[in-house]
Copies of this chain bind each other. A is one copy, B any other.
Amino acid sequence: MISFGCDYSEGAIPEIMEYLNSTNLVSTVGYGEDEYCRRARELIKERIQAKDADVYFIAGGTQTNLITITHALRPHQGVIALTSGHISIHESGAIEARGHKILDVGAAPDGKLTVPLAEKALVNLLPPHTVQPKMVYISNPTEMGTLYTKKELAALSEFCKRHKFYLYLDGARMAMALTAEKNDVLLSDYPRYTDAFYIGGTKCGALFGEALVIVNPALKEDIGHIIKQTGALFAKGRLLGLQFEKLFEENLYEKYGAHANKMAKKLKEGFLGNGVPLAYDSETNQQFPVFSEKLMEKAQKKYVFEFWEKADEGRAVVRFVTSWATEEKNVDALLEDLKIWLKDERK
């Protein structure tokens, strides 16, 4: 079976594995106070051009979201998000379990939260009877692989500042956002527009780990306690630090992100070229073709990919994901097979 199932199917990029091996017996202090973490923090702060930011390394994305939101909000405050937001549906109630309502403002056809959508959370507020909106949560790329433009980010940022909301950005797949063809948002733009964001490692070539960046000084105090209390203060913090050190010292983060995008683009063009429609105009490493049930069945015998949602009678949106580990020959094989299956179908 050839997998386009997700971007966390394999281990890590070879450079990281090598670094893990070569440093394995070095003895360091724990809990992220080591030299690898220190250097990784410096590299990141340099790259995002925000020397006053605080950087924390956390093992996974849901954990990072729940730490940041728990840390930032008081008990009566909620976070504005789309129905498709990862925190809204795919974290098993993590945000609510720590006490906060997600102020769901509905769906967006392209997966992007706009200011008018966010404003829906401001209607019919009746303090103290209603939850107080205090944060806006977005992902870039979105769950549909689409991208925010710099202008869109700036508009959300201005909206948040105006209402004294925090803007928090989930960058689980940020390597692919940064290296997408039409992207105009630089890594150094994130600290300008957001109060906190994270640079994803797990889905971008690391073995595991995310780098949480706290930009707003009001969000800095005591976050270490929240990290520990969530069970996320990694004993061998060096493992996280040295991965991000490697990713950011030689542009490996972008190098491998670009590869995933290149493979995805080939897939996208292949789908469209073969007349297979796409449910979302994804610019990154997740592609959402619409397959007939018959086609899906055939493809599933050889390829791993996900059913995403029902499209219409007899047709489904499916998800193909590429990554740093995707081999071009496998993309070629899939497109070749597709051509044959579609020909059969038309008979």
Q: List 10 A-B contacts (CB under 8 A).
A: A10-B25, A11-B23, A11-B24, A17-B24, A27-B325, A60-B232, A75-B225, A75-B226, A76-B225, A128-B224
**A234-276 Cβ-contact flags toward B at 8 Å (1 or 0):** 1110010000000000000000000000000000000000000
A222 (CB) vs chain B CBs: closest residue? B76
A213 to B272, alpha carbons, bound, how many Å? Answer: 49
A238 (CB) vs chain B CBs: closest residue? B11
A169 lies within 8 A of chain B by Cβ: no
> Which one of B65, B124, B130, B231 lies within 8 Å of A63 (CB-CB)?
B231
Residues 1-52 (chain A) with a chain B CB within 8 angstroms: 3, 5-6, 8-12, 14, 17, 20-21, 23-30
A91 lies within 8 A of chain B by Cβ: yes
Inter-subunit contact B60/A202 (CB<8 Å): no
A311 lies within 8 A of chain B by Cβ: no
A66 to B226, alpha carbons, bound, how many Å? Answer: 13
Query: With a CB–CB cut-off of 8 A, which chain B residues contact A325?
Result: 25, 27
Known contacts A10-B28, A75-B229, A89-B124; can you find 7 more A-B pairs with CB under 8 A? A60-B233, A75-B226, A91-B129, A91-B228, A92-B128, A128-B222, A128-B225
Query: With a CB–CB cut-off of 8 A, which chain B residues contact A63?
Result: 230-232
Question: 5 tightest CB-CB pairs across the interface, nearest first?
Answer: A63-B231, A76-B225, A128-B224, A11-B24, A92-B228
Inter-subunit contact A29/B17 (CB<8 Å): no
Query: With a CB–CB cut-off of 8 A, which chain B residues contact A225?
Result: 75-76, 92-93, 127-128, 131-132
Inter-subunit contact B30/A6 (CB<8 Å): yes
